[in-house]
């Protein structure tokens, strides 16, 4: 049958199982929105800004494992998606961003709101397309979704000139196979891995975001038991392994626990699963895990030996590889080594002052009141690290945060996406005041959609993480980091249709958060904490991770 490009786009979205699109209309994409109007089976969430739409699609994808979809028009509409696309690219999030451009005859002529969005996004997409021929549109959309979800996931952009959305061609419905396509695993590399594991006396398992993406939590739990090893993780790996497990020693790296940092520095085999060894994990790459052979398991061969040299590696899907290894591995016993790491945990626990309102207290209380079953979203900064340290993630897809790009302003849009996808779950966005003010306009979206998400602002009236670095490494030169400008976030939130409350004590926070949990509207809690609260422990930039220091160490050194 003959359909317009816009009709083909909507039909292809339905083929792909898309039930929600986040976007913002404009002239070039009007044909698409006119067709979308006739299809209420696809929910459209009108965000306040296109960046909010891209972050919402990201949050939808991270919380469900499905491909997130966002729409934007040409020119500035398309460029406003760029930060969200880059965020998804750095964290391997499956997303399809659909933009429309000026007509084919107007391309390259500096036409009104024309932009080369495929050129702009080429370095930050897994692939992108401009479709100048309507006969190729359906196949391009199907290919885009396949690329986004298969292998190492990532964002794909499709740019469609306006006349292509109006032109007609034959359309034939396709049946889509949603099974992830897995490459065959090299069994020689598996045997080499098994040999390393069996020879190890002090193995440590290090888990990254790839284990979350492949949904390998059950296989990972079995693997840790078989290897009889302690487990640490990255920021992106939270929830792949149960954070309440006795084997779990906390996050690794710059703001990781001393137990994990010291333990990894002593192990003889580091089994790295779905992690790319970012600089925030490594500290000084030359001294990282210097006593260990590194076994790296990752779906992307480009990550092998990129940041650290692996002694051995297995390339493929984490769930698939762990399933194979678990079938072949006999039960190992490392009782003394596991007890050694347990002692490190007891010797160097995470701690904070128990009096007064603080970031760690807020996070711990959120964990207690939600019983660890919430979807936690964060912005970027001190509050993000506290959320990683003090909330115990028991299952995957329960921490949504910008790890690779470190995008301030990410969280509120992402929480809108997560709450839309999971209407019966508690969704909490934890923000700093610096991040909150970047995209606070999306509170209007949450209010319009009547999403009962909870926005917790850990408000220290400064750019907290930057100030922490200025205190520790820049002689307390607080250049451009003080935000004490009289902004009233409670009034702003109420003006945008949300419930809101300001709190200054532990008791006030407990009461406000309990009220927020029972609210059917978006609820903002403005939590006033001290400007000089810091994230501990910390590894100074470029230093070995076994030189992590906490507040007591810092005071002793500088007394």
Q: Which residues are catalytic?
A: 50, 112-113, 162, 465
CA atoms within 13 A on the CB side of 145: 23
Compute the distance between CA of residue 297 and CA of residue 312 in angstroms, rounded to an integer: 9
User: 3-state SS string over 226-243?
Assistant: HHCCCEEECCCCECCECC
Angle at 447 between CA 524 and CA 74, to 5 degrees: 115
Residues 6+ apart with CB under 8 A from 519: 452, 499
- Residue 282's H or E segment, with its range, is helix 279-282
Nearest to 254 by CA among 377, 349, 343, 385: 385
Cα-based angle 57, 408, 372 (whole degrees, multiple of 5): 70
Distance CA(513)–CA(519), nearest Å, equals: 10
CA distance 299 to 297: 7
Q: What DSSP string runs through 429-442? A: EEEEHHHHHHHGGG
Contact 97, 57 (CB under 8 A): yes
Inter-axis angle of helices 464-473 and 382-390, nearest 10: 100
From 427, 414, 250, 279, select the one nearest 345 (Cα to Cα): 250
> Quick one: CA torsion of 538, 262, 283, 360, rounded to 10 degrees?
-30
The CA distance from 520 to 538, in Å, is 39
3-state class of 105 per DSSP? helix
Q: Where are the beta strands (DSSP E) in 267-372?
A: 269-273, 293-298, 312-315
Q: How many residues does the chain have?
A: 559
Distance CA 319, CA 214 (A): 6
Instruction: Decide the pairing of beta strands 127-130 and 155-161.
Output: parallel
């Amino acid at each position: 049958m003959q359909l317009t490009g816009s009709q083909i786009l909507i039909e292809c979205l339905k083929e792909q199982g898309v039930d929600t699109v986040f976007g913002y209309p404009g002239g070039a994409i009007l044909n698409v929105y006119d067709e979308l109007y006739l299809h209420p089976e696809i929910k459209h969430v009108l965000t306040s800004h296109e960046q909010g739409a891209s972050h919402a699609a990201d949050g939808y994808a991270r919380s469900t494992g499905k491909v997130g979809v966002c729409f934007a028009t040409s020119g500035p509409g398309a460029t406003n998606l760029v930060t969200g696309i880059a965020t998804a690219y750095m964290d391997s999030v499956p997303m399809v961003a659909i933009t429309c451009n000026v007509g084919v005859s107007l391309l390259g002529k500096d036409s009104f709101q024309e932009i080369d969005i495929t050129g702009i996004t080429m370095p930050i997409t897994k692939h992108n397309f401009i479709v100048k021929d309507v006969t190729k549109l359906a196949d391009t959309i199907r290919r885009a979704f396949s690329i986004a979800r298969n292998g190492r996931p990532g964002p794909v952009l499709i740019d469609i000139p306006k006349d292509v959305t109006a032109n007609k061609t034959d359309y034939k419905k396709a049946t889509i196979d949603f099974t992830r396509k897995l490459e065959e695993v090299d069994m020689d590399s598996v045997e080499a891995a098994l040999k390393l594991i069996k020879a190890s006396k002090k193995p440590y398992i290090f888990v990254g975001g790839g284990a979350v993406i492949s949904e390998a939590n059950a296989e990972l739990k079995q693997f840790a038991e078989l290897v009889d090893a302690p487990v640490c993780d990255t920021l992106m790996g939270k929830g792949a392994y149960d954070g309440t497990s006795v084997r779990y020693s906390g996050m690794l790296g710059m703001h990781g626990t001393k137990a994990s940092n010291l333990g990894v520095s002593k192990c003889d085999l580091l089994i790295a699963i779905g992690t790319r060894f970012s600089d925030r994990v490594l500290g000084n790459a030359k001294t990282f895990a210097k006593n260990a052979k590194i076994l790296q398991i990752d779906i992307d061969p480009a990550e092998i030996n990129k940041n650290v040299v692996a002694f051995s590696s297995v390339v493929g899907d984490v769930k698939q590889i762990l399933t194979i290894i678990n079938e072949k591995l006999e039960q190992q016993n490392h009782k003394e080594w596991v007890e050694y790491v347990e002692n490190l945990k007891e010797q160097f626990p995470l701690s904070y002052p128990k009096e007064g309102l603080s970031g760690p207290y807020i996070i711990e209380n959120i964990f207690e009141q939600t019983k660890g079953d919430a979807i936690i979203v964060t912005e970027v900064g001190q509050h993000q690290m506290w959320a990683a340290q003090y909330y115990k993630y028991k299952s995957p897809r329960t921490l949504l945060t910008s790890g690779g790009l470190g995008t301030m302003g990410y969280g509120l849009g992402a929480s809108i996406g997560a709450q839309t996808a999971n209407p019966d779950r508690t969704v909490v966005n934890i923000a700093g005041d610096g991040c909150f003010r970047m995209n606070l306009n999306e509170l209007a979206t949450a209010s319009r959609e009547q999403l009962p998400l909870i926005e917790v602002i850990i408000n220290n009236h400064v750019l907290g993480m930057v100030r922490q670095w200025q205190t520790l490494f820049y002689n307390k030169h607080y250049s451009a980091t003080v935000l004490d400008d009289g902004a009233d976030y409670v009034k702003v939130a109420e003006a945008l249709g949300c419930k809101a409350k300001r709190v200054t004590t532990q008791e006030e926070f407990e009461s406000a958060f309990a009220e927020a949990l029972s609210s059917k509207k978006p609820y903002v809690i403005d939590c006033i904490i001290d400007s000089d609260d810091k994230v501990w422990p910390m590894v100074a930039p470029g230093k070995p991770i076994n030189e992590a220091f906490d507040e007591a160490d810092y005071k002793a050194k500088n007394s």
